[in-house]
Amino acid sequence: GDSVTQMEGPVTLSEEAFLTINCTYTATGYPSLFWYVQYPGEGLQLLLKATKADDKGSNKGFEATYRKETTSFHLEKGSVQVSDSAVYFCALSEDSGGGADGLTFGKGTHLIIQP
């Protein structure tokens, strides 16, 4: 079955540091890939997505590139802020048409940014 593996946390960085959160996946078909973020006390929010190989998703300074050859979708940001502190989830969906398939999530990476 499908699975998502992401780096264990917590990840603690200083403000303005470079961020990478690794994510690799296993899927039977050609999934769409997502990063969701969960800020303290809030629900899951879509951060960015990519629906096919070599696509780059970007939002709020975060980027991730769909790498089919390495089955990866690593999340990066050039300069993190304290407000980026949250739990980040990598996820996939086999159904790029937005139909029946739910999301398969990784376990989440807790990011802590210190001033």
Partner 1 sequence: GAGVSQSPRYKVAKRGQDVALRCDPISGHVSLFWYQQALGQGPEFLTYFQNEAQLDKSGLPSDRFFAERPEGSVSTLKIQRTQQEDSAVYLCASRSGWMNTEAFFGQGTRLTVV
Question: Smallest gap, in angstroms, from Cβ of residue 84 to partner 1?
Answer: 19
Q: How far is the CB of 89 from partner 1 (least distance, A)?
A: 5
Residue 69, CA distances (Å) to 31, 43, 45 in order: 13, 32, 28
Q: Record the tokens describing residue 13, joined without a space.
A: 């960085």
Nearer to partner 1, 102 or 115 (CB): 102
Cβ-based nearer residue to partner 1, 61 or 97 = 97
Q: Do the Cβ atoms of 103 and 91 come closer than 8 Å? A: yes
CB of 10 to partner 1, least distance (A): 11
